[in-house]
Amino acid sequence: MEVSTLVLISLAVLFLMGMPIFMSLAIASIVALVAGDYLPMSVIHNSIFDGLNMFPLLAIPCFIIAGVIMEHGNITSQIVDVVKQLVGRMYGGLGITTIMACTFFAAISGSGPGTVAAVGALLVPTMIKNGYSKEYAGAVASSGGTIGILIPPSNPMIIYGILANVSLTGMFTAGFIPGFVVAFSMSAMAWLLARRNGFNGGQYAQSFNLGVFLQACKKGFFSLMTPVIILGSIYSGVATTVEASVLAIVYSLFVAGVVNRVLKPIHIYKALLEGVNMCGAVLIIVGTSTLFGKIMTYEQIPQKLAEAVLSISTQPEIILLMLIVVLIVLGMFMETLSTIIILVPVVLPMLHLVGIDPIHFGIILVITNEMALLTPPLGVNLFVASRISKVSVERLSLSVLPYLAVLLFIVLLVTFVPEIATGLPNALGMGK
């Protein structure tokens, strides 16, 4: 049996046994080293160190810490108050408010489940109190939370940019238009579902009051400036992605502690703990995946996969459609970052071969992983929203189907109209 076949079989068996991703990658790599007998065992610690020695990875725990501080520092609630004044009076107004607030918060945290937790905890109880069904509230919160990984800064985009050797600023820029298309489309779906079920604005159904809106803007001015400062520092060239993530922490501490005066030491502790947990989870997978990637390179697995796929079709659109199907299936069983880390080194050589823009594929990858956050049995956003709305995951899985249809339509739209993703970075000179 060829070593490459043995590696893939070992990996599949370990996955089916329920072995953690990092252990599966490490054991499959060791099996290849023992069976192949062409690389020294020292490649294990050298490869793992190379995987961990990536400076841009520092941005991930920093954005997570900033997001938690903002959640506890009333920054999220002030953003919600402003958005609520704009759209709260419409049919499904609180649902649309949830999606819009998720879009704002996404420009801070970069995490899908984190966005659901921060925004959903504020708005799901409010929706239920105002006559919305628990299923509607939970579905709109879990679906809106997926925007957290598409609107920059995005943790999956950071990982993808590192693995694909793509400019992080270019990836972030590419996420803007698709991100707002998703936000608008989901808002439209929330409005349609609310109108069909008769969910109006509740106590927010009164006509728009400019004075109240301006008062909310004044009160939450520093909170509203958060995404402007973070993203502005990146796109103006003042700060790198990592520096902007540290700036996010500093600014969130200032707003929560000095302006709003609600930050307590326990909140900082929770933020640091969340950041450390995320950092540990990412680094251990990245390290072992680097080792596994080196084994795959020696075994020419990416080249063999490319030959197999290209024997079916050489049309970029057909290849992307096949990859989308694979990503949707993998997303049901694997966590977002794990999917990206395992799949990207394998498919990237093939993408270069057929001329697919890596930024274009990166956006497709992120949108399909948005779908993964809503598809059981793993569907992380469903579990977070289920806990908040007190609705079973099974019932929520049915309630999010219209939003999944929206995401599927958008990923197909981006596939066949790549300019939606690549137009802005190319215009700004940030493309490939």
Here the contacts of 258-267 (C-beta below 8 Å, separation 24 or greater) are 259/222, 260/73, 260/74, 260/75, 260/78, 260/223, 262/72, 262/73, 262/74, 263/69, 263/72, 263/73, 264/72, 267/68, 267/69, 267/72, 267/73
Residue burial 379-402, b: 16+ Cβ < 10 Å; e: rest: bbbbbbbbbbbebebeebbebbee
pLDDT score for 359: 95
Tokens for 86? 């704009």
Alpha-carbon gap, residue 229 to 222, rounded angstroms: 10
pLDDT score for 90: 76
CB atoms within 10 A of CB 374: 26
Residue burial 72-104, b: 16+ Cβ < 10 Å; e: rest: bbbbbbbbbbbbbbebbbbbbbbbbbbbbbbbb
On whether residue 432 sits in a domain, the answer given is: no
Alpha-carbon gap, residue 345 to 355, rounded angstroms: 16
Number of domains in the chain: 1
- Residue 424's contacts (CB-CB under 8 Å, 6 or more residues apart) are 173, 174, 176, 177
* Residue 408 burial class via C-beta count within 10 angstroms: exposed 0-12, middle 13-18, buried 19 and up: middle
Identify which of 213, 194, 195, 183 has the alpha carbon closest to the alpha carbon of residue 115: 183
On whether residue 322 sits in a domain, the answer given is: yes
Domain that holds residue 206: 3-427
pLDDT score for 378: 72
pLDDT score for 142: 92
Measured CA to CA in angstroms, residue 339 lies from 17, 37, 289 at distances of: 18, 28, 11
pLDDT score for 133: 92
- Residue 184's contacts (CB-CB under 8 Å, 6 or more residues apart) are none
Alpha-carbon gap, residue 297 to 423, rounded angstroms: 32
Spans of the chain, pLDDT less than 70: 1, 37-38, 88-89, 108-110, 201-208, 431-432
Identify which of 412, 342, 400, 349 has the alpha carbon closest to the alpha carbon of residue 372: 400
On whether residue 265 sits in a domain, the answer given is: yes
Alpha-carbon gap, residue 112 to 95, rounded angstroms: 17
pLDDT score for 202: 56
Alpha-carbon gap, residue 4 to 296, rounded angstroms: 7
Tokens for 294? 């080196």
